[in-house]
């Protein structure tokens, strides 16, 4: 998630004009000499189905999700059958399985997790509920009696518990089948529908994580990204009226047309979640980075900025592949939609349509796209508990912005951005109850002004200072080692500290205690 609540300093203010002039001259020169344009890409072509070729996958036994859904935009509904193959990777038997059913958070105005407390922007036509209705559950071949075996609980009814007849032994698999329907709220949020968009984020029942603390059953907090999941394999079919095009976390493997509808099939391996965005306004432009096809989806009127978004995504992926490690998925989609800022999902990011429509200032579009691309490495690949240790992905995504500006604009701009990050981090010191403690649960933050500086800036300051502490070479080795060790897995703050100490050969306990407020 990118917080764009307040106007932020444009790091390119002074040099931007110069860059534009140089750039225009360069393009002119290239077109005069008949060279290929810098932005050579497949413009406005439909995304064609391809077989999924993914060179790298998790070697752990994974859950798999197979969902067949049909969306009815006029009625704002979706019906689906979801099949899950669940594997018990713990070393104890499990007598129940818990799933998150996040759409229920949108049932009431009081619990609806609209972002940044901006109700009017989220619901321009007023509040109307969204929810998930669980129709049927099968465990193996047996239909579960909904009254006795499953219960929907949690603060906002976002937890589904499925009790098992027989406990599931370590290493054993079990199949679950869930029929459900969704009422999609008229909200410009992660989950919502409007004139230009169908945002399907956190839309299907997803298995909760069982970790050293047992089942993680947190509600859908309205602050931060309150999601935590393991990587899994996905196969998703979505049927929709013909006029819609879909962008998704996975690769489009099939597209079949009927009289009135199109069936879109997407698949992915070893992915942490699966989001989909539909629109009848989408145009696309794409470009390859290594084995990854970066696809920009934008509304017809925003083709200029849509191509800029592609460029920001491409350049981000290039530098992050070099500095952190290779992004392994065959596609990465940067998608324009109605949303207040930017939101990361694996293989797909939401970018606010308002950022595409302001052609005079591309900084918001740039920095949001860079930040969400940073999350592909920290959150999507290297997973973390985003409820208890949000800094592990937000601060790393914030630091990714600095990495990008260093590469493409030089150390002067980078230093400026570092200064801004450090000073907005300092704002958190004066925040109520902060006490220098960066590693803390979402429930302990009072509001966005509390959360933003601590989880984003103060944590990023830790990385800025770590680089100074251990030197450039060791710092990049730490980042690479951390990524390599924990991609497709879940890392904790201690894991990062351990990697830092191992790679640097230094005792960094004092450094991290001070920077993260671990002793407080």
CA quadruple 36, 40, 43, 45: dihedral, nearest 10: 90
Residues 266 and 253 sit within 8 Å (Cβ to Cβ): yes
CB closer to Zn ion, 251 vs 319: 319
Smallest separation, CB 225 to Zn ion (Å): 7
Contact segment (CB under 5 A) with Zn ion among 388-396, 423-431, 461-469, 511-519 equals 388-396
Burial of 476 by CB count in 10 Å (0-12 exposed, 13-18 middle, 19+ buried)?
Answer: middle
Instruction: Give the separation between CA 272 and CA 231, rounded to whole angstroms.
Output: 4
Smallest separation, CB 303 to Zn ion (Å): 27
CB closer to Zn ion, 176 vs 370: 370
In our burial notation (b when 16+ CB lie closer than 10 A, e otherwise), range 341-371 reads bbbbbbbbbbbbbbbbeeeeebbbbbbbbbb
Distance of CA 190 to the CA centre of its chain: 10
CB closer to Zn ion, 97 vs 390: 390
Smallest separation, CB 375 to Zn ion (Å): 6
Contact segment (CB under 5 A) with Zn ion among 40-48, 246-254, 394-402, 476-484 equals 394-402
H/E element holding 232?
A: strand 232-241
Which residues touch 432 (CB under 8 Å, ≥6 apart)? 446, 450
Residues 182 and 78 sit within 8 Å (Cβ to Cβ): yes
CA quadruple 255, 351, 221, 516: dihedral, nearest 10: 120
Contact segment (CB under 5 A) with Zn ion among 147-155, 286-294, 391-399, 443-451 equals 391-399
Query: Mind spelling out the 3-state secondary structure of 275-318?
Result: CEEEECCEEEEEEEECCEEEEEEEEHHHHHHHHHHHHHHHHHHH
Binding mask 73-112 for Zn ion (x = CB under 5 A): ----------------------------------------
Smallest separation, CB 374 to Zn ion (Å): 8
Contact segment (CB under 5 A) with Zn ion among 303-311, 319-327, 359-367, 396-404 equals 396-404
User: Which of 374, 344, 353, 248 is closest to 306 using CA atoms?
Assistant: 353
Instruction: Give the separation between CA 480 and CA 139, rounded to whole angstroms.
Output: 41
Residues 193 and 74 sit within 8 Å (Cβ to Cβ): no
CB closer to Zn ion, 123 vs 227: 227
The strand pairing partners of 43, in sequence order, are 285
Smallest separation, CB 2 to Zn ion (Å): 5
CB closer to Zn ion, 73 vs 342: 342
CB closer to Zn ion, 394 vs 418: 394
Smallest separation, CB 460 to Zn ion (Å): 11
Which residues touch 127 (CB under 8 Å, ≥6 apart)? 109, 112, 119
Smallest separation, CB 399 to Zn ion (Å): 11
* 397 counts as binding Zn ion under rule CB under 5 A: yes
Smallest separation, CB 224 to Zn ion (Å): 9
Distance of CA 100 to the CA centre of its chain: 17
CB closer to Zn ion, 189 vs 394: 394
Smallest separation, CB 320 to Zn ion (Å): 14
Contact segment (CB under 5 A) with Zn ion among 158-166, 294-302, 380-388, 389-397 equals 389-397
Binding mask 459-488 for Zn ion (x = CB under 5 A): ------------------------------
Smallest separation, CB 430 to Zn ion (Å): 23
CB closer to Zn ion, 235 vs 400: 400
CB closer to Zn ion, 122 vs 397: 397
* 317 counts as binding Zn ion under rule CB under 5 A: no
Smallest separation, CB 233 to Zn ion (Å): 25
Sequence-ordered strand ranges (E) for 88-197? 94-100, 131-139, 142-143, 150-153, 159-168, 173-183, 191-193
Smallest separation, CB 371 to Zn ion (Å): 6
User: Which of 238, 184, 194, 249 is closest to 381 using CA atoms?
Assistant: 249
User: Which of 296, 278, 331 is closest to 51 using CA atoms?
Assistant: 331
Q: For residue 446, count other CB atoms closer than 10 A to its CB.
A: 12
Number of residues engaging Zn ion in binding (CB under 5 A): 3
Contact segment (CB under 5 A) with Zn ion among 47-55, 124-132, 390-398, 471-479 equals 390-398
Q: Residue 263 has which token pair?
A: 């069936």
* 335 counts as binding Zn ion under rule CB under 5 A: no
Instruction: Give the separation between CA 459 and CA 439, rounded to whole angstroms.
Output: 9
CB closer to Zn ion, 164 vs 397: 397
CB closer to Zn ion, 206 vs 380: 380
CB closer to Zn ion, 326 vs 386: 386
CB closer to Zn ion, 1 vs 4: 1
Contact segment (CB under 5 A) with Zn ion among 40-48, 71-79, 355-363, 395-403 equals 395-403
Which string of DSSP letters, residue by residue, matches 188-229? SSSEEE-SS-EEESS-S-EEPPEETTEE------SSS-----
Work out the angle between the directed axes of helices 493-504 and 472-486 (0-180°, nearest 10). 130
DSSP-derived 3-state class of residue 365: helix
Contact segment (CB under 5 A) with Zn ion among 127-135, 393-401, 415-423, 458-466 equals 393-401
Smallest separation, CB 390 to Zn ion (Å): 9
Choose, by CB under 5 A, the member of 1, 314, 349, 370 that binds Zn ion: 1
Q: Which residues bind Zn ion (CB under 5 A)?
A: 1, 394, 397
């Amino acid at each position: 998630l990118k917080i764009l609540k307040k106007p932020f300093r444009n790091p390119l203010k002074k040099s931007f004009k110069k860059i534009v002039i140089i750039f225009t001259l360069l393009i002119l020169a290239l077109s005069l000499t008949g060279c290929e344009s810098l932005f050579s890409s497949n413009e406005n072509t439909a995304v064609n189905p391809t077989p999924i070729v993914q060179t790298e996958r998790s070697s752990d036994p994974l859950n798999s999700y197979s969902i067949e859904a049909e969306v009815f935009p006029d009625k704002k509904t979706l019906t689906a059958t979801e099949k899950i193959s669940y594997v018990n990777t713990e070393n104890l038997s499990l007598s129940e399985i818990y799933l998150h059913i996040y759409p229920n958070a949108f049932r009431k105005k009081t619990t609806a997790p609209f972002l940044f407390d901006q109700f009017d922007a989220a619901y321009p036509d007023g509040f109307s509920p969204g929810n998930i209705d669980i129709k049927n559950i099968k465990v193996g071949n047996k239909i579960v009696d909904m009254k006795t075996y499953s219960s929907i609980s949690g603060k906002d009814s976002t937890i589904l518990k499925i009790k098992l007849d027989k406990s599931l032994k370590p290493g054993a698999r079990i199949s679950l089948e869930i029929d459900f329907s969704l009422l999609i709220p008229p909200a410009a949020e992660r989950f919502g529908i409007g004139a230009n968009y169908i945002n399907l984020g956190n839309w299907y029942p997803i298995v909760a994580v069982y970790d050293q603390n047992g089942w993680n059953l947190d509600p859908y907090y309205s602050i931060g990204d309150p999601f935590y999941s393991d990587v899994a394999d996905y196969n998703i079919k979505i049927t929709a009226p013909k006029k819609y095009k879909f962008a998704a976390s996975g690769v489009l493997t099939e597209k079949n047309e009927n009289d009135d509808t199109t069936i879109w099939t997407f698949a992915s391996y070893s992915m942490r979640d699966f989001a989909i965005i539909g629109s009848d306004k989408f145009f696309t432009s794409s470009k390859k980075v290594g084995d990854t096809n970066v696809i920009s989806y934008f509304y017809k009127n925003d083709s200029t900025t849509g191509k800029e978004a592609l460029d920001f995504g491409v350049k981000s992926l290039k530098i992050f592949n070099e500095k952190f490690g290779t992004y392994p998925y065959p596609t990465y989609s940067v998608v324009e939609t109605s949303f207040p800022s930017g939101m990361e999902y694996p293989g797909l990011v939401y970018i606010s349509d308002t950022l595409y429509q302001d052609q005079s200032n591309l900084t918001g579009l740039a920095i949001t796209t860079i930040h969400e691309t940073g999350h592909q490495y920290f959150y999507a690949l290297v997973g973390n508990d985003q409820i208890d240790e949000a800094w592990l992905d937000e601060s790393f995504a914030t630091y990714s912005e600095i990495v990008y500006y260093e590469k493409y604009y030089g150390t002067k701009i980078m230093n400026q951005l570092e200064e801004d990050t450090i000073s907005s981090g300092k704002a958190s010191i004066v925040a109520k109850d902060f006490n220098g403690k960066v590693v803390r649960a979402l429930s302990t933050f009072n509001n966005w002004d509390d959360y933003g500086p601590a989880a984003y800036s103060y944590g990023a300051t830790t990385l800025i200072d770590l680089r100074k502490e251990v030197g450039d070479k060791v710092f990049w080795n730490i980042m690479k080692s951390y990524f390599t060790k924990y991609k497709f897995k879940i890392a904790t703050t201690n894991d990062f500290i351990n990697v830092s100490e191992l790679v640097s050969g230094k005792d960094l306990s004092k450094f991290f205690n001070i920077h993260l407020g671990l002793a407080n």
